[in-house]
Amino acid sequence: MNQRKFSIIGTDKVRKEAPAKARGEAIYTDDIKLPRMLIGKIKHSDCAHARIISIDTSEAEKLPGVKAVLVGSEAPNKYGIVPQAPTETALAIGKVRFHGEPVAAVAAVDEATADRALDLIKIEYELLPVYIDPHAAMAKDAVPLHEDNKYGNIAYMAKQDFGDVDKALAESHRVLEKTFKTSYVNHVFMEPHSCVARFDDNGDLMMWSSTQVPHYLHTMASQVLDMPMSKIQVTVPTVGGGFGGKGEASNNELVAALLSRKSLRPVKVTYSRKEVFFQHRGRHPIEMKIRMGVDREGYLTAIDYDGIMDGGAYGAWGIIILFYTAAMLHLPYKITNVRFNAKRIYTNKPTCGPMRGLGGVQPRFALESMMDDLAIMLGMSPYELKLKNAIDGKHDTVSGVHVRHSEYKKCLTEVVNRSGYLEKHQKLPFGRGVGLAGGYYISGTAYTLYMSYKPHSSALIRLDTESGVTLQCGATDIGQGSNMVLAMMCAEKLGLPYESVHVISGDTKNAPFDLGSFASRVTVAAGAAVCEAADKLLAQLLPVAAVHIGCRADQLLAGNGEIYSKFEKELRMPFWDAVEKYIDAFGPLTATGSYTPPRRTGEFKGGNVGHSPTYGFTAHVAEVEVDTETGEVKVVGYNEAGDCGQPINPLSVEGQVEGSIVMAMGQALYEEIRLAPDGRIINPNLHDYKVPTMRDIPHIKTYAVDSYDPDSPFGAKEAGEGPIQPTIPAILNAVYDAIGVRFTELPLTPEKVLQALEEKKRQEGLS
């Protein structure tokens, strides 16, 4: 069944590109300098909601060194990652909807000239009321941000109802109702968005961009520029992270292309950090009112979810994320009565969007917190309650999601044993506590974001005697290491060293189709395509070797740079000799592979969302220390146990898990984009928007539980988005254990902790 003896898979490999990155030699988009290249800069609105009365660019155009000035009306085609409901244009037309929205752009010979030109652009606005709170935006007399939207400022509404929630709650032993609020946070990837666009003499457009999704950028550029896709090529240089924030076309990319077309010169548009905050697409703040019931034994009876998502100014990934939030309620616990009722609201702030673990992080925070509360109400260990409800090895949800493989229970047990949770929970001195939480995530999706049934990933492998192994795959390495994963799989299949596989990826022309890097899809989907291509290559090559060796092809294996008989070790030949013989006889040796995920859906709105070929699971235990005099929360210990199937490169899995935990820890304790009442961002820089530093990060112990999904390439599943799910509730559950206060609002600042402690003292004094 599962061949689990590998020579490359499962070994720690250092990324080929790591030393160059560490030395600052890797070529990122902003490093590209082309002859005659101009610098493009964007003029941002300085009000959050207004009608544009006029834009006067005449002075800017006159400035020497300015080669093109662009306004929104020159590119009126709307775009959006969900093509049925596009809401955005490259530059604002008629109206601005958030402070910092791109309104005009210039291309000039250098940055200083471009900056000066921006100052010369005069825009007249007629101010409209600013809504930074979704409740205010939903008021009856609120001015709609989008006049063509059907329901005022309600962008989307969703309702799903499974089982009989009311009955189940009525019959529950205990029912808990709580409201949770998450905060407005950004991904803070290291590399700001950057794009270089160039038109050649044939009118073809080349875009170098720091995108996660060259394919979707390709489609949106074609739409906005009104050009056939075949005349556009998108290629991705080294990328410094994305986490979802580069998961759709961003304004700088479209503006670079439009300015290049207008100026007839290459144009680069690189964002400042402030502009990254304007582009945003970070996590949706959600206000969630949740009711959850349990029976006497601690089995969950029902979840009733009511949510208001703050969407920001535009649609973007909004509707998808709304339905993901619904889907995420159904796992990793067995639950048959689930009701979801939610709205996504337009507000005058930078647009929310996909961010690592999208859809899951907010409800996970609420649900894992409530499960702890329920367990404690029942006098039960949260571990016992969670384990009781955890899904088994295979599971079907009432929403029709099929989990083909899960080791979630192992994750819970391992992390509890490794952290000493049971010995510590409710037993540590006041001010110190431990918290347990679990989570899961998809490893890819079942559908593209537009109607299409083509394979989601494809790969082409070429073997030749001159340049060795070339693996071409459109999958995009944004720093997560997909080039490495795919090369390791290819090398394992062909029995060649990992270092010998050359990967060409992240390019819409030079590599075959792939949807992009999001939804933790690449290892499973592109991995399957690579495996299929490699298998097909061997199917061509082995018969040639068989003739030479003198045995049956189905008895041959590839390994250690040789092709050999699995029965007689002396029947063998060097791999590359076989390739040479093949090419001498038949010509080029190539093969392609592709992957199309299994299709599943539900007969309800949003029924396509949440299905994945397979799922990753994880459980965390955080240990915290609360300074009861200053309210500071310090995470002093952290354990994780995860089920990512077979880790392809354990070192990279560890990196993904640790990165997830640190990212979520920032969101739990420090991070929040703050807005003034007029919609201006108060902290659009990394000095005032605070991500954790090395000094804040505890020693994190990660552990991959024994796991292998037999239907996945090399048994692998996701490891980059599941592990961000449980961190926030693990920390907040630990804080509860430390000081007996349940926090429901993020981030958990010292101020909130101190206030709560004082309130608690007052209450205890009263009683």
| Residue selected from 156, 564, 595, 670 as contacting another protein according to rule CB under 8 A | 670
| Residue selected from 5, 33, 569, 695 as contacting another protein according to rule CB under 8 A | 695
Handedness of CA 512, 517, 521, 524 (dihedral sign): positive
**Residue 275 or residue 310: which is nearer to another protein going by CB?**
275
Q: How far is the CB of 270 from another protein (least distance, A)?
A: 13
Range 115-154, binding another protein (CB under 8 A): 115
Question: Is residue 431 close enough to count as binding another protein by CB under 8 A?
Answer: no
**Residue 276 or residue 459: which is nearer to another protein going by CB?**
276
User: Which of 748, 756, 660, 641 lies closest to 369 in space, CA to CA?
Assistant: 748
Range 267-296, binding another protein (CB under 8 A): 272
Question: Is residue 111 close enough to count as binding another protein by CB under 8 A?
Answer: yes
Q: How far is the CB of 21 from another protein (least distance, A)?
A: 18
Q: Is 701 exposed, middle or buried (0-12, 13-18, 19+ CB in 10 A)?
A: middle
Phi, psi of 503 (to 5 degrees): -110, 130
Question: Is residue 112 close enough to count as binding another protein by CB under 8 A?
Answer: yes
- Cα separation of 232 and 216, whole Å? 12
Question: Is residue 500 close enough to count as binding another protein by CB under 8 A?
Answer: no
Question: Is residue 413 close enough to count as binding another protein by CB under 8 A?
Answer: no
Tokens of 517: 């890097």
| Residue selected from 396, 423, 499, 751 as contacting another protein according to rule CB under 8 A | 751
**Residue 126 or residue 629: which is nearer to another protein going by CB?**
629
**Residue 146 or residue 690: which is nearer to another protein going by CB?**
690
CA 157 → CA 341, 346, 662, distances in Å? 8, 12, 32
Question: Is residue 17 close enough to count as binding another protein by CB under 8 A?
Answer: no
Q: How far is the CB of 272 from another protein (least distance, A)?
A: 7
| Residue selected from 688, 706, 759, 762 as contacting another protein according to rule CB under 8 A | 688
**Residue 392 or residue 751: which is nearer to another protein going by CB?**
751
Handedness of CA 554, 556, 559, 561 (dihedral sign): negative
| Residue selected from 144, 683, 701, 711 as contacting another protein according to rule CB under 8 A | 683
Q: How far is the CB of 107 from another protein (least distance, A)?
A: 16
Question: Is residue 687 close enough to count as binding another protein by CB under 8 A?
Answer: yes
CB atoms < 10 A from the CB of 470, how many? Answer: 16
- Cα separation of 248 and 316, whole Å? 8
Q: How far is the CB of 691 from another protein (least distance, A)?
A: 8
Residue 321 contacts residue 354 (beta carbons within 8 Å): yes
Q: What share of the chain is helix, strand, coil (3-state, %, to 5)?
A: 30, 25, 45
Q: How far is the CB of 252 from another protein (least distance, A)?
A: 16
DSSP string, 220-241: HHHHHHT--GGGEEEE--B---
Phi, psi of 206 (to 5 degrees): -115, 130
Q: How far is the CB of 539 from another protein (least distance, A)?
A: 55
Question: Is residue 630 close enough to count as binding another protein by CB under 8 A?
Answer: yes
- Cα separation of 549 and 565, whole Å? 9
Handedness of CA 481, 482, 487, 493 (dihedral sign): positive
Question: Is residue 745 close enough to count as binding another protein by CB under 8 A?
Answer: no
Phi, psi of 457 (to 5 degrees): -140, 150
- Please list, in sequence order, all residues whose beta carbon lies within 8 angstroms of the beta carbon of residue 581, skipping any fewer than 6 positions away: 544, 545, 548
Stretch that binds another protein, among 92-100, 424-432, 477-485, 666-674 (CB under 8 A): 666-674
| Residue selected from 632, 678, 711, 745 as contacting another protein according to rule CB under 8 A | 632
CB atoms < 10 A from the CB of 676, how many? Answer: 12
Q: How far is the CB of 695 from another protein (least distance, A)?
A: 4
| Residue selected from 389, 470, 608, 749 as contacting another protein according to rule CB under 8 A | 749
Question: Is residue 674 close enough to count as binding another protein by CB under 8 A?
Answer: yes
The count of chain residues that interact with another protein, using the rule CB under 8 A, is: 25
Q: How far is the CB of 692 from another protein (least distance, A)?
A: 6
Residue 216 contacts residue 248 (beta carbons within 8 Å): yes
| Residue selected from 200, 392, 423, 629 as contacting another protein according to rule CB under 8 A | 629
**Residue 342 or residue 635: which is nearer to another protein going by CB?**
635
Question: Is residue 636 close enough to count as binding another protein by CB under 8 A?
Answer: no
User: Which of 576, 629, 608 lies closest to 761 in space, CA to CA?
Assistant: 629
Phi, psi of 80 (to 5 degrees): 180, 155
Phi, psi of 613 (to 5 degrees): -55, -40
CA 552 → CA 256, 534, 547, 570, distances in Å? 57, 19, 8, 14
Tokens of 521: 């899809």
Stretch that binds another protein, among 28-36, 276-284, 412-420, 629-637 (CB under 8 A): 629-637
Question: Is residue 190 close enough to count as binding another protein by CB under 8 A?
Answer: no
Q: How far is the CB of 612 from another protein (least distance, A)?
A: 35
Residue 403 contacts residue 394 (beta carbons within 8 Å): yes
For the CA atoms of 253, 254, 256, 260, the dihedral, rounded to the nearest 10 degrees, stands at: 140
Stretch that binds another protein, among 82-90, 312-320, 424-432, 683-691 (CB under 8 A): 683-691
Question: Is residue 690 close enough to count as binding another protein by CB under 8 A?
Answer: yes
Range 553-612, binding another protein (CB under 8 A): none
Q: How far is the CB of 192 from another protein (least distance, A)?
A: 14
Residues that bind another protein (CB under 8 A): 111-112, 115, 272, 629-632, 669-670, 674, 682-683, 687-688, 690, 692-696, 749-751, 754
